[in-house]
Every structure is written in C-alpha cells, then in structure tokens.
C-alpha cells in the first residue's frame, strides 16, 4: 500500500494525525503549521512590541520548554525584536523543582537564553517543603499558586521586564472555563479566557508582586507588567508531539504535592469530550469568550446607569472590587492586605487557615480584617535592597 501523503505538502509521507484538526501531516509541515498558528495568535492579539523585554516563565515542564523554543524561533524568523530570557521560580520542593530547574538550566544554555531563578525561600522565608511540613498537604496548592504568581511579578519587576509569557495552553484554559462555569463564578469566567492580563488586572484572590519602602511607596514598577499566553489556542497533545519530534528536553514528573482534585475532574471531562469531538477544546474557549462579552455588557450597562440591578444571582456580590495597594507590601489588591501577605501572616503565626477562607466571616469579622489589625506584628517582606541584589546577580 502506498504511504499516505501529508495533506499540506502532498509530497512527503505523513507521520502523524494532528490532534487539533485530524489532518495527516509530515514532520516538517507539522512544525511549520504549529509554529505559524502561534505566530498568528501573537499577531492577532498584537502581543509584542519591538524592543520589549520578555520573560518566559520557565518551569522545565513541556509547555514552558516548548514555549521557550518556539518564542526563540519566531523571534528570529519574524524579527519580533524581543529581548528574551527565562524566569524560573524555585518553590523549594525537593525531588521536584530542584530536578526540573536542572532541565531549565540546560535549556537556557542550549537556546542561548539567560536565566534568572528566584526562590520562595528568599522572597517569603518559606519553601513549599517547609509549608507542607507546617500545614500538611491540604490547601498547600493555594499557598503555592498565590506565591508563584507574586514571585513571577516580583522577578519581572526586579529585572525591569515589560512582559511575562507563560505556557498555559488551550486545554488549561478550557479546563478553567469549565471550572468557573461549574462554580458559577462569572467574574473569573469573564477573565480566564483573556490572552493578555496586566498586573493590576490580577485575579483579586491572587497576590501581586512588589516591595514597599519605608515611606510607604512602592519601589518596584510592577503595574505595567503584561502577562500573556501565546499558547492560548495550542492543544496540549500537539505541544507534547512538538517536543517529542524536536527531541526537546523537558521534565515530566507531576508535582509531588499537587492533588488538585477539582481541576482533575475538569481535565478528565475535557479529555472525554476531546476524544468524541477534538474541536471541543476550542469550542469551550470560544464559548467562554462569548460569555465574557455578556458579562462585560452587563457591567457597562450598569456603569452607564442603564440597568440598575442585575438579575443574575451569581453576579451579585461578584462585581469587580476596587483595586488598592497592599498596606504591608505595596502590591495591588482588592483588600487591605494582598492574599500573599495574609497567607504569610497565617504561616508566621502558626494559623495557616487565616488566609485560606479569607472571604468567610469569623465572629462577624472577616479574616482579612483580622489580618489587617495585626499588620505591623509580622515579619517584614523582602526589602528592595535584597531584590536589587538578586537582580544584580543576574
Ligand atoms: N516554577 C515556575 N517558574 C516559572 N514559571 C512557572 C513555574 N511554574 C509554572 N510556571 C509557568 O506557568 C505555566 C503554567 O504552569 P502549570 O503549573 O499549569 O504547569 P504546566 O501546565 O505543567 O506547564 P509546564 O509544562 O510548562 O510545567 C507554565 O507553563 C510556566 O510558564
């Protein structure tokens, strides 16, 4: 039987069926279409400006490894004019992050991209190993997620970066849409499909980076830092195939502390849908985008005084809160203290649940309020000098 030909070039033998389209393709055409689709996403969203300094959030996993490789390739091929480097956060998880950071270091040398590593230890005085020792495995992902987001912002601010790109892919975004639908969380649903966010747009439940001076001003300019997801429409299966056919080195072990059960359900459901209908992933992202428009229109009409009251139960009490500056560390937050400071306070005082149920009122006082009253009694956040020293070592 004659070999089946690539549906793109009609010349070479097809070596795979694209998970996203079902089309048979040869290896060079697969590389080309995969990279070109990312390039198109970048153009459509006008993601970069020439001369921009861009940090690639590098965990050593498949997504960020492929992202680093593709960003370097496209930057050279299409003359984006970007100053690219890798930014890794060391959460302090022995047997996991230490090994994956070795992979990042190897890739940094291979791709010729400078690497900056920042640790939870130096930023917060706690590693994830310490945190798990103190609080056990329940809720540890909350600490890690909040601290990582802030750590990336801090690293970017210290290094004067304009923009952070992460390897979040189409599957991740579709899972998040499903999770927000299942929770009826319209506010997060309206944001989770955005390809670009600003530090000031950060999810209010997440801390944001920064350092406060003695006079209360913030030394690090993190407000202008953009975050984006160039892999928004890239399928996880294609990212894995790309890494495989390019023989990229990545670290594939799951985090030893990550039993994110709820996302696990959404993931399993999404995989089932994908096996029946591969376009389900993109369809869910598009439907999340459409729902976002509905929410925004409602928001606007309320702001314009056209609709006095929302009929949506889910949207009640979920309108965007006013952003302010964290009283302790100077970062943007919707409360007196940013989430990271509340979590840290709980850890330092030996009451780790303090920040976990921050919206729950205890004895009529919200835990955030309680945290605010004790603002001056806990360990200070890392000083600007410490962060500048970290930057100069880079
Ligand atoms: N420790 C870290 N340091 C720097 N960036 C990180 C780190 N952890 C996650 N990221 C960024 O956030 C993205 C999504 O992270 P997530 O934990 O969901 O991992 P993932 O989907 O397994 O991605 P990857 O395969 O790149 O590890 C990563 O692709 C990476 O860009």
Number of domains in the chain: 1
Whether the predicted pLDDT of 201 surpasses 90: no
Report whether residue 229 contacts ligand 1, using a CB cutoff of 6 Å. Answer: no
What interhelical angle do 170-183 and 236-245 show, nearest 10?
Answer: 160
Q: Is residue 330 assigned to a domain? A: no
Of residues 355 and 148, more confidence is placed in 148
pLDDT digits (tens, 9 = 90+) for 12-34: 999 999 999 999 999 999 999 99
Give, in degrees to the nearest 5, the angle at Cα 255 between 251 and 258. Answer: 155
Cα distance between residue 210 and residue 220, in whole Å: 6
Compute the distance from residue 65 Cα to the ligand 1 centre, in Å. Answer: 9
Task: Collect all residues with Cβ–Cβ distance below 8 Å to 279 and sequence separation of at least 6.
Answer: none
Q: How does the average pLDDT of the chain come out, rounded?
A: 81
Report whether residue 100 contacts ligand 1, using a CB cutoff of 6 Å. Answer: no
Specify the pLDDT at position 42. 98
Report whether residue 63 contacts ligand 1, using a CB cutoff of 6 Å. Answer: yes
Beta strands in the chain (DSSP E): 16-17, 24-25, 53-57, 83-90, 115-119, 163-165, 196-198, 226-228, 324-325, 332-333, 361-362, 365-366
Whether the predicted pLDDT of 100 surpasses 60: yes
Report whether residue 149 contacts ligand 1, using a CB cutoff of 6 Å. Answer: no
Report whether residue 164 contacts ligand 1, using a CB cutoff of 6 Å. Answer: no
Cα distance between residue 81 and residue 233, in whole Å: 23
Q: Is residue 86 assigned to a domain? A: yes
Q: For residue 299, name the pLDDT band (cuts at 50, 70, 90).
A: low
Percent of the chain at pLDDT > 90 equals 56
**Ligand 1 pocket test target in 166, 195, 243 with most atoms within 8 Å of CB:** 166
**Which range among 20-29, 197-206, 306-315 shows the weakest confidence by mean pLDDT?**
306-315
Q: Is residue 357 assigned to a domain? A: no
Query: Known binder of ligand: residue 57?
Result: yes
Query: Known binder of ligand: residue 63?
Result: yes
Report whether residue 299 contacts ligand 1, using a CB cutoff of 6 Å. Answer: no
Give, in degrees to the nearest 5, the angle at Cα 157 between 218 and 64. Answer: 150
Q: Which residues form the domain of 141?
A: 27-323
Report whether residue 328 contacts ligand 1, using a CB cutoff of 6 Å. Answer: no
Whose CA is closest to atom 1 on ligand 1? 89
Compute the distance from residue 166 Cα to the ligand 1 centre, in Å. Answer: 7
Report whether residue 168 contacts ligand 1, using a CB cutoff of 6 Å. Answer: yes
Q: Is residue 48 assigned to a domain? A: yes
Of residues 190 and 202, more confidence is placed in 190
Whose CA is closest to atom 24 on ligand 1? 61
Residue 261, CA distances (Å) to 136, 139, 141 in order? 16, 11, 11
Q: Is residue 388 assigned to a domain? A: no
Cα distance between residue 60 and residue 103, in whole Å: 6
Specify the pLDDT at position 3. 84
Q: Is residue 356 assigned to a domain? A: no
Whether the predicted pLDDT of 112 surpasses 80: yes
Q: Residue 267 belongs to a domain with what CATH number?
A: 3.40.50.620
Compute the distance from residue 138 Cα to the ligand 1 centre, in Å. Answer: 21
Q: What is the mean pLDDT of residues 147-156?
A: 90
Q: The whole model's pTM is what?
A: 0.82
Which is it for strands 16-17 and 24-25: parallel, antiparallel or unpaired?
antiparallel
pLDDT digits (tens, 9 = 90+) for 206-234: 322 333 333 333 445 556 789 999 999 99
Q: Is residue 9 assigned to a domain? A: no
pLDDT digits (tens, 9 = 90+) for 330-351: 777 888 898 999 999 999 988 8
Q: Is residue 364 assigned to a domain? A: no
């Amino acid at each position: 039987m004659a070999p089946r030909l690539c549906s793109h070039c009609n010349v070479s033998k097809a070596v795979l069926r694209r998970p996203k389209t079902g089309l048979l393709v040869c290896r060079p055409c697969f590389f080309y279409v995969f990279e070109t689709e990312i390039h198109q996403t970048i153009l459509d969203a006008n993601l970069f400006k020439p001369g921009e300094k861009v940090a690639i959030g590098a965990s050593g996993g498949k997504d960020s490894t492929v992202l680093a490789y593709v960003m370097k390739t496209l930057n050279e091929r299409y003359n984006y004019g970007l100053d690219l480097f890798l930014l890794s956060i060391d959460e302090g998880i022995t047997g996991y992050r230490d090994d994956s950071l070795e992979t990042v270091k190897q890739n940094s040398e291979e791709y010729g991209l400078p690497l900056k590593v920042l640790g939870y230890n130096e930023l917060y005085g706690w590693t994830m190993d310490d945190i798990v020792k103190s609080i056990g495995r329940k809720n540890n992902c909350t600490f890690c997620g909040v601290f990582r987001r802030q750590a990336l912002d801090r690293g970017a601010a210290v290094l004067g970066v304009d923009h952070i790109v992460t390897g979040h892919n189409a599957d991740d975004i579709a899972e998040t849409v499903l999770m927000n639908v299942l929770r009826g969380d319209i506010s997060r649903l309206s944001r989770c499909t955005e390809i670009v966010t600003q530090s000031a747009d950060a999810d209010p439940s997440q801390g944001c980076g920064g350092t406060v001076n003695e006079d209360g001003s913030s030394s690090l300019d993190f407000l202008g830092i953009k975050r984006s997801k160039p892999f928004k429409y890239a399928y996880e299966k294609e990212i894995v195939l790309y890494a495989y056919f390019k023989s990229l080195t990545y670290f594939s072990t799951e985090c030893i502390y990550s039993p994110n059960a709820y996302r696990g359900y959404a993931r399993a459901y999404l995989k089932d849908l994908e096996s029946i209908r591969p376009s389900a992933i993109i369809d869910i992202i598009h439907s999340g985008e459409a729902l976002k428009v509905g929410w925004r229109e409602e928001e606007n009409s309320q702001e314009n005084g056209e609709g006095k009251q929302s009929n949506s139960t889910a949207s009640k009490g979920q309108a965007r809160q006013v952003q302010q500056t964290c009283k302790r560390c100077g970062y943007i937050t919707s409360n007196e203290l940013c989430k990271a400071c509340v979590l840290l306070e709980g850890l330092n005082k030996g009451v780790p649940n303090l920040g976990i149920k921050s919206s729950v009122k205890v004895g009529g006082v919200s835990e955030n309020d309680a945290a605010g009253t004790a603002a001056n009694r806990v360990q200070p956040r890392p000083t600007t000098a410490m962060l500048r020293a970290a930057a100069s070592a880079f």
